[in-house]
């Protein structure tokens, strides 16, 4: 049982670390702010959750799992807010490349200044 949990923990840790590497590569390769934000959410949410699950599978104590759950809740509550504000600031600053957008729903509104 312990061995199975350990293997699961290793898998979660390696997959989460892979997501961090992919986000790093995407930050270097993607062309504009919005696509970089898309890449940045992978380690922020999924990668972090996988690593926290792997950590919880290794620690296996109620207090530690509660702390890890708290970290996960904080991260999942705050990451969308930060991404929303960064995206809005980027669009208003004209840093979203409109030629790369499929749909630009803010095109006719006051947000496009």
Partner 1 sequence: MTVVAVVVTTLLAAGAVLALIRIVRGPSILDRIVATDVLLAVIVMAIAAEAAFSRDATALPVLAVLSILGFTGAVSVARFAIRRQATADPSSGRDAGRPSPQYQADSVDLPDPIGSTSLDPHSRGPLGATSLDPDSLDPLDATSLDPLDATSLDPDSLGPQSIGPPEPPDRGDSLSPPESPGRGRLDRSAEEVR
DSSP per position, 52-67: HHHHHHHH--HHHHHH
Contact between 106 and partner 1 by CB under 8 A: the answer reads no
Token code pair at residue 14: 């390696």
Dmax (CA) of the chain = 60
Nearest to 39 by CA among 26, 51, 20: 26
- CA dist 36 and 19 (Å) reads 14
Could you say which residues in the range 22-61 bind partner 1, by CB under 8 A? 22-25, 27-28, 32-33, 36-37, 40, 43-44, 47-48, 51-52, 54-55, 57-59, 61
Residue 79: Cβ within 10 Å count: 15
Contact between 75 and partner 1 by CB under 8 A: the answer reads yes
Contact between 107 and partner 1 by CB under 8 A: the answer reads no
Residues that bind partner 1 (CB under 8 A): 6, 9-10, 13-14, 16-18, 20-25, 27-28, 32-33, 36-37, 40, 43-44, 47-48, 51-52, 54-55, 57-59, 61, 63-64, 67-68, 70-71, 74-75, 78-79, 81-82, 85-86, 88-90, 92-95, 97, 112-113
């Amino acid at each position: 049982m312990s061995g199975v949990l350990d293997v699961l923990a290793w898998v979660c840790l390696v997959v989460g670390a892979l997501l961090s590497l992919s986000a790093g590569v995407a930050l270097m390769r993607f062309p504009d702010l919005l696509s970089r934000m898309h890449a940045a959410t992978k380690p922020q949410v999924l990668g972090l959750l996988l690593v926290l699950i792997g950590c919880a599978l290794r620690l296996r104590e109620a207090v530690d799992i509660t702390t890890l759950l708290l970290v996960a809740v904080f991260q999942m509550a705050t990451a969308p807010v930060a991404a929303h504000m960064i995206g809005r600031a980027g669009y208003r600053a004209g840093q979203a490349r409109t030629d790369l957008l499929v749909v630009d729903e803010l095109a006719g509104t006051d947000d496009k200044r």
